[in-house]
Structure 1
C-alpha cells in the first residue's frame, strides 16, 4: 500500500472515531427533549416545575453543542465563507485550510483550553454547585466539558491539518 494512502487511512480512522463519539454524545439531545417535555408537563400540568430539570436542560444542550463542534470538523460541515472558496483550485483550498488552522484556529483553541483548566479546577476545588436551592451539585462536571470538548476539537483539527497537508503534497 502506498505511504500516502496509508497516511489518509490513519486520518480516516481518527475522523471515524471522532464521528462515532459525536454520534454517541448526540444522544444527549434525546435526553434533552425528554427533559424539556417532563419540565413542561410538570410546570404547566402540575404547577411544579423543577430547577434541577431546567439546569439539566442547559447542561445537556451545552454538552451537545460543545462536542458537536468536533463532529462538524470531522465531517467538514463547519461554517466557512464559500463565496470565493469553491472557485479556487485544490492547491489554493488546501493552503487556505492549512493557513487558517495554523494562524487562526489552533491558537484560539489553545487559549480556550488553557484557561478552561483553571476554570474547572477552581470549580472542583470548591465543589461548586448551583446557586439555586434546588439546583444541581457538582458544577465542575459540566465545566469539565469545556476542556474535554476543546481537546477533542483540537484532535479533529490536527487531523484535518494532517489530511490537508497530505493532499497538498500529493497535489490532489
Structure 2
C-alpha cells in the first residue's frame, strides 16, 4: 500500500503544481480583456492578436486544468444516489465510472484528435484573421495535453478509489491518533 500511496502523492503533487501555474492564465485573461476594452473604447484601437491571445489563454487553461478539477473533486458528477453512499460505495462508483466512462472517453479523444492535430501542424494552421495569431496548430495540440494530463490524474484517482474500496476508507484523509 505504501508504494500506491507514493504514486498517488507524486501524481497529485505534479497535478497541483501544474494546476496552480496554469491558473495564473486567468489573471492574464482579466488584464488583457481590460486592456482590450480600454484600448477599443477609450482610444479607438483594436488589436486582433491581443484579443485572440485571451481566447488562446482561455483554451489553454480549460484544456490544461481537467486533471486539477479531478484532483480537487470539482468535476461533473451526476449525483442521484452518490451522496448517500459510504466511502466504499462511493469508491466503487468512482471506479466503475473511471473504467466505463472516463478511460474510454480519454482513449476516443486521443485517437480521434491525432489526425486532426497532425493535419493542423502540416498546414501550420493560423488564425482566419489577417492580424491574428499564426499558431492555431499549437493551440490545437492542447487537446492532447488535456487528455494526457487528465489521464495522468485518472491513474491517481483510480488508485485512490481502489485503495478505499479495498480497505473502506482513505488513509490519507483519516485523522491521526494525536488529532482525535
Superposition TM-score tier, normalisation by shorter sequence: over 0.9
Gaps of 5+ in 2: 170-180
Aligned residue in 2 for 1:99: 96
CA deviation vs aligned residue, 1:87-112 (integer Å, no higher than 9, x gap): 11222111100000000111111111
Structure-1 separation of matches of 2:65 and 2:124: 27
Structure-2 separation of matches of 1:130 and 1:78: 31
Aligned residue in 2 for 1:27: 24
Alignment of 1:20-169 (within 5 A): 20-169=17-166
Pairwise CA distance, 1:21:
0.4
Pairwise CA distance, 1:39:
0.8
Find out whether 1:7 has 2:4 as its counterpart.
yes
Pairwise CA distance, 1:154:
0.7
Structure-1 separation of matches of 2:104 and 2:71: 19
TM-score scaled by length of structure 2 = 0.88
C-alpha RMSD of matched pairs (Å): 1.3
CA contact (8 A) 1:52 1:135 kept: yes
TM-score scaled by length of structure 1 = 0.92
Bigger helix share: 1
Gaps of 5+ in 1: none
Three-state SS of the structure 2 residue aligned to 1:140 is helix
> Which 4+ residue blocks in structure 1 deviate beyond 6 angstroms?
none
